Amino acid sequence: MLELRRLAPGRGMTLTPRLALLMTLPPLMWAGNAIVGRLMAGQVPPLTLNFLRWVLVLLILLPLAWRVLVPWQRVAARWRYLFVIGLLSVGLYNALQYAALVSSTPMNVTLVASSTPVWMLVIGALFFGEHPRPRQLLGAALSLAGVAVVLGRGSLHVLMQVQFVVGDLLVVAAAIGWAVYSWLLVRPPVHMQGDARPRVDEGWDWAGMLLLQVIFGLVPAGLFAAGEQMTGAAPVQWGWAVVGALLYVSVGASIVAYRAWGLAVAQGGPALAAFFANLTPLFAALLSALVLSEPPRPYHALAFGLIVAGIAASTSRAKPGA
């Protein structure tokens, strides 16, 4: 999740060891999140895992960001917007990813999720009047080709037969939802723009915005988890492994990764950060081989190369006069 403010583009800053660490930490944490989600399949139902994760995040953030809730009228006046972004991020995004990991692998999930820039272009063109440039279309085509390689498991025959794993389709839905969420961050309603938006010194900083998204997102997340339990989901198999997993996904993959990402984008610019974000599938492949004994296959390397090429093409700038 990004902070709800306009981030300055990169200013030619040198890639220092500190900045490299800040940019590497989030994709590593997010890859670990996929591994944990896979490990928890069968121990914690996916929608319940998502709900428990964000409940713990709420408990951690409340002492840090409670000022954003005072006065409550300021929050209540913006409840529709906060509910929508909370639904798309806290309520659905990770819930769909955890559900996907029941039938798919962390490598597939993170690679398919890398199609998000494609959906960003589609949503921007359809609903926000942002028409993609030729280089962005080239990047979208390359990224879609990488996703097609994953969905077809490296086989054109499988792809032509449309033999999709349910988990892959859930990740596509998650990527589309995240694209809508991202556009709502950069194109918020008027009450979240300029002087109408509450100030950072009033508690509306990164922690305050995350807390508000968690509060509003927990409503649908809780309903989804309750529905999952009512439809016969297995109970949580509590143990130290489950407790450790919840601590990781709430502290590491949520708060630490989110804060590091905000600092990295602010210091190095979104273009450089986007390149580092696409290290997530690579880290997922390495962690899968180490933890899950699921070594990567040749088509994973091909898909990763196509997706990175797509991101590079879409973020590169045309030469003057070209």
The confidence score (pLDDT) of residue 23 equals 82
Place of tokens 């609903």: 127
The confidence score (pLDDT) of residue 274 equals 61
Instruction: Tell me the domain boundaries of the chain.
Output: 29-315
CA 24 from chain centre, in angstroms, equals 15
Helices (H), 248-320: 257-268, 270-277, 280-287, 298-315
Asked if residue 3 lies in contact with residue 213, where contact means CB atoms within 8 angstroms, the answer is no
Q: Which of 49, 29, 41 minimizes the C-alpha distance to 94? A: 49
Q: What whole-number distance in Å separates Cα of residue 322 and Cα of residue 318?
A: 6
Environment class of residue 143 by beta-carbon count within 10 Å: exposed (0-12), middle (13-18) or buried (19+)? buried
The confidence score (pLDDT) of residue 263 equals 83
pLDDT in tens, the chain (322 residues): 444 444 344 444 566 788 888 888 988 998 899 899 989 988 999 999 999 999 999 999 999 999 999 999 999 999 999 999 999 989 998 899 999 988 888 877 887 787 777 787 888 888 888 787 787 778 778 777 777 777 677 777 766 665 567 888 898 899 899 888 888 887 889 988 888 888 888 889 889 999 999 999 999 999 999 999 999 888 999 999 999 999 999 999 999 988 888 787 777 765 566 667 767 877 887 888 888 887 777 877 887 788 777 767 765 654 444 3
Asked if residue 273 lies in contact with residue 264, where contact means CB atoms within 8 angstroms, the answer is yes
Check residue 70 and report its DSSP letter: S
Say which residues have a Cβ less than 8 Å from residue 83's Cβ, sequence separation at least 6: 216, 219
Say which residues have a Cβ less than 8 Å from residue 287's Cβ, sequence separation at least 6: 31, 32, 35, 106
